[in-house]
Amino acid sequence: LDYQHVQVPFEITLWIMLASLAKIGFHLYNKLPSVVPESCLLIFVGLIMGGIIYGLNDRSPPVMDSDIFFLYLLPPIVLDAGYFMPSRPFFENIGTILLYAVVGTVWNVFGIGFSLYGICQVRAFRLQDVSLLHNLLFGSLIAAVDPVAVLAVFEEIHINELLHILVFGESLLNDAVTVVLYKLFRSFCEMPTKSVDVFAGVGKFFVVGLGGVLVGLSFGFTAAFTTRFTKDIRVIEPLFVFLYSYLSYLTAEMFHLSGIVAIISCAMGMKRYVEANISLKSHTTVKYFMKMWSSVSDTLIFIFLGVSTIGENHEWNWPYICFTVIFCLVWRALGVLVLTFFVNRFHVNTITSKDQFIIAYGGLRGAICFSLVFLLPDFHRKKLFIAATTVVILFTVFVQGMTIRPLVDLLAVKRKRESAPTVGEQIHIRFLDHLLAGIEDISGHWGQYYWKDKLEYFNSKYLQKILLREYDQPKSSIVLLYEKLERKHAMELAQAGQLGHGLAHPSFLSNDRTVITDQKLEDTPNPDALDNMQEILARNLYRIRRTGPAYNRHTLPGDSEPAERAEEILILRHKNL
Amino acid sequence: LDYQHVQVPFEITLWIMLASLAKIGFHLYNKLPSVVPESCLLIFVGLIMGGIIYGLNDRSPPVMDSDIFFLYLLPPIVLDAGYFMPSRPFFENIGTILLYAVVGTVWNVFGIGFSLYGICQVRAFRLQDVSLLHNLLFGSLIAAVDPVAVLAVFEEIHINELLHILVFGESLLNDAVTVVLYKLFRSFCEMPTKSVDVFAGVGKFFVVGLGGVLVGLSFGFTAAFTTRFTKDIRVIEPLFVFLYSYLSYLTAEMFHLSGIVAIISCAMGMKRYVEANISLKSHTTVKYFMKMWSSVSDTLIFIFLGVSTIGENHEWNWPYICFTVIFCLVWRALGVLVLTFFVNRFHVNTITSKDQFIIAYGGLRGAICFSLVFLLPDFHRKKLFIAATTVVILFTVFVQGMTIRPLVDLLAVKRKRESAPTVGEQIHIRFLDHLLAGIEDISGHWGQYYWKDKLEYFNSKYLQKILLREYDQPKSSIVLLYEKLERKHAMELAQAGQLGHGLAHPSFLSNDRTVITDQKLEDTPNPDALDNMQEILARNLYRIRRTGPAYNRHTLPGDSEPAERAEEILILRHKNL
C-alpha cells in the first residue's frame, strides 16, 4: 500500500465525490429540498462530518483554507454567475445596484463597527480591549453580503427578476468595497501610526473596482478573439472560456484588484462573441461544465463551512456575538430604507416596502466573511471574531435562509415568471428600445437608451468585425430564437417518430412547443400565446432562414421566385435598419 | 504585486494556455499537420522553449515531474482511450493483443537487456561497469510501446482498424508487464542478494493485471449504479464519470496494480450503462470534455518532453546509445515476426507481412519511458540511461512518426474505411453473431461467440436491471442508430428551414444523410448504399419508434390500427428473440 504517493489527488477526489453524493442524496427525497435550502442541509452534513472527525481524532478538524477558497472554490461560482447574468435587468438597474453595493456596504461597515465599539465600552461585557480599529476591521468583513449564499437561497425561491438582480448584483459588486476597506483597516491595525487619508481610500476604491473591470474586459475580448481561430480544433474551444476567465481572476488578485469584478466583467464581455464563434456542442459543454463546476464548488464550500465550525477555534462572549447579529440586521435594514428612499425619488418604478423588506432580509453572509476572518493577523481576540462570524453566517443561512421562502409566500412578493418572454414581447421591447433611443437623441437627454444604442453601434461597427469569425451577417436575436425553436421542434418530431411521414399541414402550427432559454439549462414550457407570433414569423422569416446552405437535393439554394426575393431583400433591409 | 500568492494556479493555467495556443497555431496552417505529426511539432516547441529557458537562466530547465505525469497527465489520455475504444475489434483480437503485450514485451525486455549487456562487455566502449541487472532494468523501461505516442501518430494516419487496435491495444495492456518487471528489477538493483523467483514474478503479473481489471470494473459498475439516481440533478452527471474513473486509477496505483489497465476497464465497463442513464446533453459534455482533456494532456506531455530534453542531464556514450536504438528496432521486428507466425497458425484472417512491418515500425516510445527513467534510483550511470531513453524517444517519434505515413502510402496498407458501417452491415453482423453462437453451442465448442452470447444474456438478465434506470425496455442498437439518424436529419431540416413547409414525399428518402458514429465526435458522410436499408427500416421500425411518448396533439399514442399493432408485436418479438 502506497497511500502517500496518491494522497493529494485521492483526497480531493473523495471530497468532491462526497459533495456530489450528498447532492444526489437530498434530491432522492423530493420533499426535503422544498422545505430546507440545500445550503442548510450541506452545512448540516459538514457539521456531522466535523463532529465525527473531532470525535475520532480528539482535535479540531481542519479549517477551510482561505487560499483554497479564494483560488479554487470561489472563481467557478462567480464565473457561472457572470456568464449567466441576465444582462438587461443588470444594466437597467446598475445605478441602484452600485448604490447598494458601495454606499450601502460602507454604511454597514461603519455602522456595525462603531456600534460594536460602543458595546465594547460597557464595562460589564469585559470587552474594553477591543479597539475601534479592530471593530471596524471586523465590520468590514462582516458587512458584505455574500454572493454564494445569496445565490444558493435565491435560486430556490424564484423571486422576481428585479429583486434578484438587486440583491445578487449588490453581493457581487461589493467585493471592491470589501477589498479596499478590509485591506485598509488591516494595514492600520498592523501599523497604527499611519494617518487616515479618506481621499486615498476613495481613489483606491476606484482603482480596485475599475481596474478589475478593465482586466476582466481585456481578457474577455482576448478570449473572444482567440475563439475566432478554433474552427479546425473545435474540441479545445471550451477550454479557452475557462482559461481566460480564470487568468483574469488571478491577474486581478495578483495586482490586489477585485478578482470577482474582473471575472464577472470577463464573462459578460466575452459571452456574446464566444457564443457566436464556437460550435453548438462546445457551447453546450461550456454551459454544462460551468454549472457543474459551480455547483460542486458551492457544495464543497457549504460542507467545509460546516466542518470548520466544529472545534476549538472559538471564544464565546454572549453580548458581543448577540449584538453583532442584531447590528448586522438593524444596520442593513436602515441602510436599505434610507438608500431606497433616494432611489425611489429618481425612478418611475419604485421599490415597494415589501421589496425593501426582502432586500434587507436577503442580506445573507457566507464563506467570504469566513475566509477573511481566518486571514486576520493574529491578535488575542481573533477567536472571538471567528465565533461571531460563524454565528452570523449560521444565523443568516439557517434562520433567514429557511424563513425567507414562507415570508415571500406570506407577503405575496411578485415571483419570477416561469415562462420565457414570448417572441411578441421581445419584438415589442426591441421596438421600444429603438423608439426611446430616438426620443432621447432628439431631446438631447443622454440616458440609458441613448448609451445603449451608441454601444450597440460601436459593437456592430468595430468589435464584431474584430472578434467574430463571420461578422458580415450578424443575425438578429429574434432570428436566432426562431432557429432555436425550429431545432427544438425538429428534435421533438424526431423523438416522436413523425418526421417526414407525410404531415400535410405546416408542422409549426400543430404542436406543443417549448423554448430554450439562455438563462436556464432546463427547458421551460411555453404558453399558447407564442403560437400566433410564431405563425407570423414562420411566414415572414421564411426566406431569411434560407440564407444558410439548403440540404435538400431537389431544390437549389438560389431558385426562389423573384417576388419572394424582393420580399427577402425588403425584410433584410428592415433588419439592418 | 503579489505573485507568490497566485503562482501555482497561474503557472498551470499559463502552461495549459501555451499548449492550447500551440495547437491552434499548427492548425492555422493547413499544410503543416498533414506532413509532420503534431507530436513532433510539439516536441519541437518544447525544445525551443527549453532552449530559451536554458539560455536565460544558464541552468537546466525544469524536468517533467514523474508524479505530475503519472497522477495528472496520463489518466485523462488513458480514460479517453478506454472510453472511445472500439470494443468489438478489441475483444475479437484480445488473444493476439495479449500475446503481443505480454510475451512480446517480455521478449523485448530480455532481448534488449541481454544484448546491451553484451555490448557492455566490449572493452573499447568503456561500459564494463554497467551490470546485467541495470541493463535489464533499462530494458524493462525502454521495451514498452507508449500509448500516448502511438495514439498521437496512429490517429493521424488513419490505418485500418485491425492494425490500429493491435498496436494500440498492445501499448495499453503492456503496462502490467512493465510495472511488474520494472519494479522487480529495481528491487533487485537495490537489494542484489535476493534470489530470483520466476514463478513469483509470473504470479505478480497476474495479480497486477487482473487486479487492475477488477478494481476498474468495480468502480465502473459503481459509477453506472450512481448515475441511476441523478435524474433530478442532471448537471453533475458528467462529474461521476470522471470521478469514478480517476478513483479507479488512483486506487490501482495505491495498491501497486496497473493503473492504466484499471482505468481502461472502468471506462469500458461503465460506458454502456452510463450512456443509457445520463441525458443527451450530459453525454455530449462527457465526450467533449474527455477529448478536450486528453488533447491538452497530450499536448502538455509532448511540450514537456521537449523542454526536459534540453539541459545537462545527459551522459553521452555513442556505442551504448546507438546500439540501444538498433536493438529496440531489431528485437521488436523479431518479436513481431515470431509471434505473428504463431498467431497466423491459429487464425483464418492472417496478419500479412505488410501489416507485420507496420506493427513493428509503429512501436513508438514516449513519455512513460521518460518518466520511468527519471524515477530510477540514483546510480552513477543514470545520466547515460536518460540520454539513451531521450534519443530512443526522439528517434521513434521523429523518424518513425514522420516516415510511417509515407510508408503506409507506399506499401498501400489497407486504410480505415471513412464511412460508418451501414445499417445493413450492422444487421448482417448481428445475425452472424447469433448464428455462430448457435453453431458453437450445438457443436459444443466454447468459442468467442458462445461466451459473448452468454455475457450478453447475463448482462440483460442481471446487470441491466441493477445498473440502468429504465431497464424494462432495452432498445436494440439498430433502433438507437435509427433514432440518431432521425435526430440528425431533423436538425438538418431545421437548419435548412424546410421543416414542415409542406414536403409531400417522405423526407427520409430524399436527402443526403450523415451518420453520427460513436467513435468520432465529427460527423462522417455516409454512402448512398444506406438509402436502401433505411427505407426498409423506415417501413419496419415505424411502430417501434412510436413506443416513446408522441408529442403530437392530434394523435393519441395508442390509437394505431389493430393490423399495425399486430405487426408491431411481431417485430418486437423478433427483436426479443
Calculate how close chain B gets to A115, using CA atoms only, in Å: 34
- H/E run at residue B510: none
More confident: A17 or A497: A17
More confident: B248 or B176: B248
Query: Got the DSSP string for B163-224?
Result: HHHHHHHHHHHHHHHHHHHHHHHHHHHH-TTSPP-HHHHHHHHHHHHHHHHHHHHHHHHHHH
Percentage with pLDDT > 90 across chain B: 24
> What are the tens digits of pLDDT across the range B399-456?
998 898 889 889 888 887 767 677 778 778 878 888 888 888 788 777 777 888 888 8
Q: Do A554 and B510 touch (CB under 8 A)?
A: yes
Q: Is B471 strand, coil or helix?
A: coil
Q: Is B440 strand, coil or helix?
A: helix
What is the residue type of A460? Answer: S
Instruction: Please give the Cα distance from B336 to B170 (Å, whole number).
Output: 12
Percentage with pLDDT > 70 across chain A: 82
Percentage with pLDDT > 70 across chain B: 81
Calculate how close chain A gets to B509, using CA atoms only, in Å: 9
| Closest chain B CA to residue A490 | B490
> What are the tens digits of pLDDT across the range B264-288?
999 999 998 888 888 888 888 898 8
Q: Do B292 and A238 touch (CB under 8 A)?
A: yes
CA distances from A538 to A362, B56, B249, B554 (A): 44, 64, 53, 21
- Would you say A160 and A362 are in contact if contact means Cβ atoms under 8 Å apart? no
**Which segment of A97-111, A398-412, A562-576 scores lowest on mean pLDDT?**
A562-576
pLDDT at A192: 62
| Closest chain A CA to residue B489 | A494
B505 DSSP 8-state letter = S
Calculate how close chain B gets to A403, using CA atoms only, in Å: 24
Per-residue HEC secondary structure of B70-124 comes to HHHHHHHHHHHHHHCCCHHHHHHCHHHHHHHHHHHHHHHHHHHHHHHHHHHCCHH
Task: Among B488, B495, B508, pick the best mutation site for testing chain A contact (most A Cβ within 10 A).
Answer: B495
pLDDT at A502: 38
Tell me the mean pLDDT in the region A165-184: 88
Q: Show the beta-strand stretches assigned E in A94-253.
A: none
What is the residue type of B543? Answer: R
pLDDT at A530: 52
- H/E run at residue A524: strand A524-525
Q: How confident is the model at residue A478 (pLDDT cuts 50, 70, 90)?
A: low
Residues of A with Cβ-Cβ distance to B233 under 8 angstroms? 23-24, 27, 295
pLDDT surpasses 60 at A447: yes
Q: Which residue has 524536468 as its cell numbers?
A: B63
pLDDT at A104: 93
**What helix, strand, coil percent values describe chain B, rounded to 5?**
75, 0, 25
Tell me the mean pLDDT in the region A479-493: 72
> What are the tens digits of pLDDT across the range A55-90?
888 777 777 788 888 899 999 999 998 898 888 889
Percentage with pLDDT > 90 across chain A: 23
pLDDT at A114: 94
Closest to A529 measured CA to CA, from A429, A418, A416, A425? A425
pLDDT surpasses 90 at A499: no
pLDDT at B513: 37
Task: Give A 254-283 residues with CB within 8 A of chain B.
Answer: 254-256, 281-282
Cell (9 digits) for A71: 483560488
Q: Do B498 and A291 touch (CB under 8 A)?
A: no
**A6, A292, A551 ranked by CB distance to B236: nearest:** A292
Calculate how close chain A gets to B230, using CA atoms only, in Å: 6
Judge whether B465 is closer than 8 Å to chain A, CB to CB: no
Beta bridge partners, B514, equal B525
> What are the tens digits of pLDDT across the range B45-68?
899 988 888 888 877 777 778 888
List b or e across B242-257, with b for residues whose CB sees 16 or more CB atoms inside 10 angstroms: bbbbbbbbbbbbbbbb
pLDDT at A381: 85
**B239, B288, B498 ranked by CB distance to A235: nearest:** B288
More confident: A424 or B363: B363
pLDDT at B497: 60
Instruction: Please give the Cα distance from A391 to A397 (Å, whole number).
Output: 10
Residues of B with Cβ-Cβ distance to A497 under 8 angstroms? 486, 542, 545-546, 548, 550
Calculate how close chain B gets to A179, using CA atoms only, in Å: 15
Tell me the mean pLDDT in the region A537-558: 40
Q: Which residue has 489520455 as its cell numbers?
A: B77
Instruction: Please give the Cα distance from A466 to A461 (Å, whole number).
Output: 10
Q: How confident is the model at residue B330 (pLDDT cuts 50, 70, 90)?
A: very high
Cell (9 digits) for B388: 539513451
Task: Give A 59-98 residues with CB within 8 A of chain B.
Answer: 67, 71-72
pLDDT at B504: 34
Tell me the mean pLDDT in the region A315-321: 86
pLDDT at B417: 73
Q: How confident is the model at residue A152 (pLDDT cuts 50, 70, 90)?
A: confident
Tell me the mean pLDDT in the region B176-184: 86
Q: Is A514 strand, coil or helix?
A: strand
Tell me the mean pLDDT in the region A125-133: 84
A-B C-beta contacts closer than 8 Å = 255
Instruction: Please give the Cα distance from A66 to B311 (Å, whole number).
Output: 38
Q: What is chain A's mean pLDDT, rounded? A: 80
Cell (9 digits) for A213: 473591470
Tell me the mean pLDDT in the region B237-244: 92
pLDDT at A556: 38
Cell (9 digits) for B491: 436538425
Q: Is B514 strand, coil or helix?
A: strand
Instruction: Please give the Cα distance from B384 to B371 (Å, whole number).
Output: 15
Beta bridge partners, A525, equal A514
End-to-end CA distance of chain A: 71
CA distances from B222 to A58, B148, B267, B457 (A): 33, 27, 12, 20
Q: A266 CB contacts (<8 Å, ≥6 apart)? A: A82, A215, A216, A217, A219, A220, A223, A244, A245, A248, A249
Q: Is B548 strand, coil or helix?
A: coil
Instruction: Please give the Cα distance from B303 to B46 (Å, whole number).
Output: 4
From the CB of residue A442, how many other CB atoms can be counted at a distance below 10 Å?
Answer: 8
pLDDT surpasses 70 at B530: no
Instruction: Please give the Cα distance from B339 to A27 (Å, whole number).
Output: 55
Calculate how close chain B gets to A140, using CA atoms only, in Å: 22
Closest to A332 measured CA to CA, from A180, A168, A112? A112
Instruction: Please give the Cα distance from A251 to A266 (Å, whole number).
Output: 12
pLDDT at B72: 92
Residues of A with Cβ-Cβ distance to B156 under 8 angstroms? none
Judge whether B291 is closer than 8 Å to chain A, CB to CB: yes
Instruction: Please give the Cα distance from B317 to A52 (Å, whole number).
Output: 60
pLDDT at B525: 38
Calculate how close chain A gets to B478, using CA atoms only, in Å: 15
Instruction: Please give the Cα distance from B505 to B512 (Å, whole number).
Output: 15
Return phi, psi of residue A345, to 5°: -70, -25
Mode of pairing for the β-strands spanning A514-515 and B514-515: unpaired
Instruction: Please give the Cα distance from B553 to B536 (Å, whole number).
Output: 28
pLDDT at B473: 52
More confident: B527 or B74: B74
Query: Got the DSSP string for B352-380?
Result: PHHHHHHHHHT----HHHHHHHHTSPP-T
Q: What is chain B's mean pLDDT, rounded? A: 80
Instruction: Please give the Cα distance from B196 to A142 (Å, whole number).
Output: 67
A64-290+314-411 — its CATH code? 1.20.1530.20
Query: Which of B77-86, B215-224, B298-307, B379-388 has the highest average model confidence (pLDDT)?
Result: B215-224
Could you tell me where in chain B the CATH 1.20.1530.20 domains are found?
A: 64-290+314-411
From the CB of residue A245, how many other CB atoms can be counted at a distance below 10 Å?
Answer: 29
Q: Do A226 and B502 touch (CB under 8 A)?
A: no
Tell me the mean pLDDT in the region B227-250: 89
CA B559 to chain centroid, in Å, comes to: 48
Instruction: Please give the Cα distance from B127 to A363 (Å, whole number).
Output: 75
Q: How confident is the model at residue A180 (pLDDT cuts 50, 70, 90)?
A: confident
- Report yes or no for ipTM above 0.90: no
Residues of A with Cβ-Cβ distance to B551 under 8 angstroms? 492-493, 495-496, 498, 511-512
pTM: 0.79
Q: Which residue has 511540450 as its cell numbers?
A: B303
Judge whether B24 is closer than 8 Å to chain A, CB to CB: yes
Q: Do B288 and A28 touch (CB under 8 A)?
A: no
pLDDT surpasses 90 at A422: no
pLDDT at B520: 37
pLDDT at B555: 35
Calculate how close chain B gets to A347, using CA atoms only, in Å: 39
pLDDT at A425: 80
Instruction: Please give the Cα distance from A210 to A261 (Å, whole number).
Output: 9
> What are the tens digits of pLDDT across the range A267-293?
999 998 888 888 888 888 898 889 888
pLDDT surpasses 80 at A186: yes
A552 DSSP 8-state letter = B
Task: Give A 428-447 residues with CB within 8 A of chain B.
Answer: none
Q: Do B239 and A292 touch (CB under 8 A)?
A: yes
- Would you say A220 and A244 are in contact if contact means Cβ atoms under 8 Å apart? yes
